[in-house]
């Protein structure tokens, strides 16, 4: 039986995981592992944390963690389920199917597993078999049916089919928040960014406390910005970057696009649009501040980057009418 201290560490790890503080969750789990190396729940949660990483090599370590949990607890259906999802992530369909079928055997009431089995059959081209599994989740014709089918198509990267089915679900239930969110992901995947943003706005309206809708919206504005920049439309790119930064000030602009705001400011000044140039440069200052903190840039490099923006700012301010220059100075003083 695990000690009270280990159970407390495990509970802290779960709370950290739920709050998306994965690094802290890993620390608690490492401590728990040292004290209870044969506790299956510790290995299970180590696997869960590993799956949150963006690095494929780290995600693959989750297979070992879940396998260890299963060896210690052969009827650990949750570990089979999570390991199956990792296998599916790496397109190891046969191994994923074996794990999901084991879940269905150990816990027949866990209906979600059939959605994953259906996804595997869709990827294999076995649509009829996929529908048989889907019918185990819910009966055909209602919004839950179309929602689950849309979710399966999304996971299988069949984005148009996902949009079609999620749209049917939303026609029947306009308050289906996850339906808007998943359809937004499908729209984003095929480059329909405006439609994705509209769906995220609807989801955020229904559940304003959910931060991921706003974060994803900001990231899509960044994608729109990068697309515009690649097409040579620097001003539009800068406007989209600003829209994204208004939602999430801490988003990082990729290195090849870092000068977009400054270049847009120069273009605005060349056209006599000094107030607009200042707006671009105010956000450029924020981007520089973020870089200095997030990348821990050398002090001298940070100063140089800030000086470059400030030089442009002074040039833009000179173009303002006297009254606006005075207001700008006063605003800068009170903002400090």
pLDDT one-digit tens code per residue, 112-134: 899 889 889 888 888 778 878 87
Residue 140 binned pLDDT confidence (cut-offs 50, 70, 90): low
Alpha-carbon radius of gyration of the chain: 25
| Average pLDDT over every residue of 39-46 | 96
Least confidently predicted of 35-39, 175-179, 299-303, 326-330: 326-330
**To which residue do tokens 């510790």 refer?**
42
CA distance 16 to 223: 30
Domains of the chain, start order: 1-110 (1.25.40.10)
Chain-centre distance of CA 263, in angstroms? 29
Continuous H helices in the chain = 4-18, 22-35, 40-50, 56-72, 77-89, 93-106, 112-124, 127-137, 143-155, 159-172, 177-189, 193-206, 211-230, 234-247, 260-270, 274-294, 299-318, 322-335
Q: Which residue has the higher pLDDT, 162 or 158?
A: 162
DSSP assignment of 135-163 equals: HHHS-TTSHHHHHHHHHHHHHTT-HHHHH
pTM comes to 0.63
Instruction: Compute the C-alpha angle 226/256/59, nearest 5°.
Output: 80
| Average pLDDT over every residue of 243-263 | 90
CA distance 18 to 14: 6
Chain-centre distance of CA 283, in angstroms? 23
């Amino acid at each position: 039986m695990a000690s009270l201290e280990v159970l407390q560490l495990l509970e802290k790890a779960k709370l950290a995981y739920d709050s998306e503080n994965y690094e802290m969750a890993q620390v608690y789990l490492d401590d728990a592992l040292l004290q209870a190396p044969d506790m299956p729940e510790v290995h299970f949660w180590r696997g869960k944390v590993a799956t949150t990483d963006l690095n494929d090599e780290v995600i693959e370590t989750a297979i070992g963690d879940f396998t260890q949990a299963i060896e210690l607890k052969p009827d650990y259906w949750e570990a089979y389920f999570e390991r199956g999802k990792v296998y599916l992530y790496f397109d190891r369909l046969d191994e994923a199917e074996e794990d999901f079928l084991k879940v269905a055997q150990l816990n027949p009431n866990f209906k979600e597993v059939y959605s994953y089995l259906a996804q595997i059959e869709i990827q294999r081209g076995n649509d009829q078999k996929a529908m048989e599994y889907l019918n185990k989740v819910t009966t055909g014709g209602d919004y839950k049916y179309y929602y689950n089918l849309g979710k399966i198509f999304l996971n299988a990267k069949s984005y148009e089919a996902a949009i079609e089915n999620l749209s049917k679900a939303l026609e029947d239930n306009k308050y289906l928040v996850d339906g808007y969110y998943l359809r937004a992901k499908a729209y984003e995947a095929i480059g329909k960014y405006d439609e994705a943003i509209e769906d995220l706005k609807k989801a955020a309206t229904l559940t304003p406390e959910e931060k991921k809708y706003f974060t994803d919206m900001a990231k899509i504005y960044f994608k729109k910005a990068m697309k515009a920049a690649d097409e040579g439309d620097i001003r539009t790119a800068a406007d989209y970057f600003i829209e994204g930064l208004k939602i999430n000030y801490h988003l990082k602009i990729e290195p090849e696009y870092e000068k977009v705001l400054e270049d847009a400011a120069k273009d605005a000044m060349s056209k006599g649009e000094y107030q607009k140039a200042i707006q671009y440069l105010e956000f450029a200052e924020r981007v520089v501040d973020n870089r200095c903190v997030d990348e821990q840039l050398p002090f001298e490099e940070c100063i140089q980057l800030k000086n470059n923006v400030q030089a442009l700012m002074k040039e833009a301010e000179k173009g303002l009418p006297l009254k606006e220059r005075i207001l700008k100075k006063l605003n800068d003083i009170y903002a400090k």
